[in-house]
Amino acid sequence: MNASLAIVIVSYNVRELLRECLRRLEGQRVIIVDNASADGSAEMIRNEFPDATLIANADNRGFAAACNQGLAASTAEFVFILNPDTTVAPPALAALLELMRADARVGACGPRLLNTDGSLQYSCRCFPTLGRLAMDELGLGKLFPKSRFFGDYRMTWWPHDERREVDQLMGAALLLRRAALDDAGVFDERFFMYYEEVDLCLRLHQRGWKVVFAPDAVVTHHGGASARQSFAAMTLARYRSLFAFYRKHYPAWHRILLKIIVAIAATLRLPTSRRAAFAPVPRKVWSL
């Protein structure tokens, strides 16, 4: 067991995926924060992984708050925030830790993420400006993924094949330096889910820490297992956090323009098969 590393997993109703994830982490210091799952996840952890630390919440506290619970449960120098729907390749942790130890100004680093079929999952993004979000919300990034203009926000123009500093990394697999968290602060619990890692990466940059993508570390992210349980609710949660991010970091008029962009995009770009379930979203955007 690596005493300098703790792995924090926040879980909600994904028992089977969590079981497989934990099996790959045998011998590591793992802290699981269960957000009141109703599928027997907590019992499975107690019975099958007694060496793991379990924090079983009585209600769903959200991703940011649960991550902070996990962070507070350890004093390890490095903390790996990991989704339960992931498979960590054995050398990945070693590669990420080596990067951190080689440069004391790296506050966060993340691996190359792969989809279940082995294809690349775009896990680096630029910070969300109005222009970038307009392109993304209107689906132009998907239409022209190799365009540096249209695909700028999600960096789809870049093959994710070299180590580089980036604005932000996906929170599905994110290694954090404790000293950087002590300096910039932990996750902002105003973000129930989504954009908490964007906010953290921005604060790290503001404090002079580097955020680095490491393609030599590989993690498979099966993707959105908890979020898929309620498409419309999770979409609204994403928008709520996006507007909270804008409320925190940008002038008020930016948020007004962003709501117009989101309302138009939410109406136009959804596939016909989901319009019925998604219909309330554009209207509710204005109250977020």
Query: Given this model, what pLDDT does residue 89 score?
Result: 85
Q: Reply yes or no on whether the pLDDT at 80 is more than 90.
A: yes
Q: pLDDT tens, 222-261? A: 975 544 546 667 788 888 999 999 999 999 999 899 989 8
Residue 141 located in a structural domain: no
Contact 213, 169 (CB under 8 A): yes
Q: Give the range of the structural domain holding residue 83, as residue numbers without chain letter.
A: 5-123+160-226
Query: Given this model, what pLDDT does residue 273 score?
Result: 43
Considering the domain architecture, whether residues 221 and 237 belong to the same structural domain is answered as no
Query: Given this model, what pLDDT does residue 264 score?
Result: 84
Q: Reply yes or no on whether the pLDDT at 92 is more than 80.
A: yes
Find all residues with CB under 8 Å of 250, minimum gap 6, and list them.
none
In this structure, of 41-45, 90-94, 209-213, the range with the lowest mean pLDDT score is 90-94
Q: pLDDT tens, 256-287? A: 999 898 888 877 755 544 545 455 555 566 56
- Average pLDDT score over the chain: 90
Q: pLDDT tens, 125-147? A: 999 999 999 999 888 999 999 99
> With DSSP H G I counted as helix, E B as strand and the rest as coil, what are the percentages for the chain, rounded to 5?
40, 20, 40
Query: Given this model, what pLDDT does residue 236 score?
Result: 83
Residue 145 located in a structural domain: no
Where helices occur in 35-156 by DSSP H, the ranges are 41-48, 63-72, 90-102, 130-137, 140-143
Considering the domain architecture, whether residues 57 and 195 belong to the same structural domain is answered as yes
Residue 149 located in a structural domain: no
Q: Reply yes or no on whether the pLDDT at 112 is more than 70.
A: yes
pLDDT band at residue 2 using 50, 70 and 90 as cut-offs: confident
Domain boundary residue, one of 188, 208, 226: 226
Considering the domain architecture, whether residues 65 and 164 belong to the same structural domain is answered as yes
- Give the whole-number percent of the chain exceeding pLDDT 70: 90
Number of domains present in the structure of the chain: 2
Considering the domain architecture, whether residues 46 and 116 belong to the same structural domain is answered as yes
Amino acid letter at 115?
Answer: N
Considering the domain architecture, whether residues 15 and 52 belong to the same structural domain is answered as yes
Query: Given this model, what pLDDT does residue 214 score?
Result: 97
Query: Given this model, what pLDDT does residue 162 score?
Result: 95
CATH number at residue 211: 3.90.550.10
Considering the domain architecture, whether residues 76 and 204 belong to the same structural domain is answered as yes
Considering the domain architecture, whether residues 103 and 174 belong to the same structural domain is answered as yes
End-to-end CA distance of the chain: 44
Q: Global pTM?
A: 0.90
CA pair distance 109, 99, nearest whole angstrom? 8
Domain boundary residue, one of 226, 245, 267: 226
Q: Residue with structure tokens 């993924």? A: 145
